[in-house]
Structure 1
């Protein structure tokens, strides 16, 4: 074989090797591109799963009765049994199911704007089931209500009778808005402090003045109220004092201390008398009759003209009503 022919064969072989390597490289590139696309699809799929997971994140919560329950971190469909609807509304949450009695009787809640379905009293669990809640909140428990409701969704209990400053942070924690709840309470305290300061500056309240709260119902029953609702505002550290004799009164049921006509002078003791009354026609008529009696007219606060009236629709201690009451109460003191 001559030198020229040998060189040609080597060149041809090198060309073939080059083409082969080029093909392999091209195939490898194609495979890598396919892997990249597949990886991007997997990443996209994982992102969707992560988003879904994020929307249904859960945590373990220990409720007022000691149940440790797995609940949504940010529940979206809440059924609330009990009174504190205004607490959830203040946090920007409207439940899908509520006992609408507490909306209808409240002054601060816009009845028409609240679209939550009525779950009734006692709670209609079939209605709750139809609402497909991701969380059910019970402010009290009747019979086997907890067990039955737990078959529908995660359930937490809390004490709905607690004062606003104790209950509101609990509710904020349950619905994943603990920080917001704490901030709203701070704002409320500052506004309340400013209200009391202004009332004193305007001479509407005297330093050290005491007050007693009377709740009057349509059936002529009367109760002294030391806690809950309006009383929580009145007896703040910057507000009215409470006479020692009133402090000693013991409730008959919950916050209610029953008052008879004969015992009014022994129980309605304070520099000022604040009367919660109903706008119901029968109640108004019965109340007007009471105002004409000698027993009523001889009460010290009535004789001194230090008596103020407010509709009992304001006698709620949820955050929404409590906040609005800070604007309403100075008007009550103008009477």
Structure 2
């Protein structure tokens, strides 16, 4: 079996893969439509334009970041690309089993085994990965099955809506949206005074961070707290690079004393994540007023690309806010 490898795929292999894809998907080179599930089609608009897809697809392949959102909403893909062990460890056991039951098509979007993909005879391909990687693969993917693509800059709710509509998992999405909206409304009411009168800061550190550094992070789950709950966290000005891209030395932890409440990452058991643990071990961190007064809140964020993980984050945030000392 061959895998796509940008810059190394020869014309002969590309032609062979394309030919196999046309045969296996029921397409033809004269422009005839492939046979769709139940014969009914509708149009989905995504980053690659308007795409006609089956109303009720039965053999869905997910590539890149569409996999976990599709599974989260109840979808069962027949083919997937790799998801990291750290991500898989954070999803429910039944979702992990669904992922593992699918055929693995490659380690990443630009390493998809096109022959194996075509052999699955999908009636829909859902994909999210960098646009620069999609362009060389677009024609090959579309020759195999209708392909709906989103770049990495799409907002997570828009991605969830698109995946649900294209993949026919709107029932799962509706249930999650209702739970999300109810949770946001309840938290806004419960913590109205805290939200209105508290200066928060979200700090983080990753496995790739340089030793002795941390970041004031303004992306990830904190975007939910900022955008949906209206909590006051530092964030980059529009058009500027995210604050979280800048590494700060541990010495600058002392500057966090200007904030009322600090949030930081913890695992599912409530312990500081492994990359962040060196931060909480510093004397500077332990001397912060927020830490000494019970206003340093560890939050669990299993992901922010679909409603299921976001709801887990909101549960963690809700429980943490409930522990804050009464406002003076």
* 3-state SS in 1 of match to 2:216: strand
Q: Is residue 2:67 matched to residue 1:85?
A: yes
Offset at residue 81 of structure 1 (A): 1.5
Residues 131-170 of structure 1 aligned to structure 2 (within 5 Å): 131-140=120-129, 141=131, 142=133, 144-170=136-162
Counterpart contact for 1:76–1:134, Cα < 8 Å = yes
CA distance in 2, matches of 1:237, 1:59: 31
Structure 1 unaligned spans of 5+: 1-51
* 3-state SS in 2 of match to 1:235: helix
Q: How many residues align?
A: 272
Match of 1:296 among 271, 278, 285: 285
Distance 1:255 1:93, change over 3 A: farther
Match of 1:234 among 207, 225, 238: 225
Structure with greater helix share of residues: 1
Q: Match for residue 317 of structure 2?
A: 329
Residues 176-255 of structure 1 aligned to structure 2 (within 5 Å): 176=168, 181=173, 184-198=176-190, 200=191, 205=194, 207-221=196-210, 222-228=214-220, 230-243=221-234, 246-248=235-237, 252=241
Counterpart contact for 1:84–1:160, Cα < 8 Å = no
Counterpart contact for 1:164–1:317, Cα < 8 Å = yes
| TM-score w.r.t. length of structure 1 | 0.66
Counterpart contact for 2:261–2:296, Cα < 8 Å = yes
Q: Match for residue 32 of structure 2?
A: none
Match of 2:42 among 59, 84, 109: 59
Q: Match for residue 70 of structure 1?
A: 52
Distance 1:101 1:223, change over 3 A: farther
Q: Say what the alpha-carbon RMSD is for the aligned residues.
A: 3.5
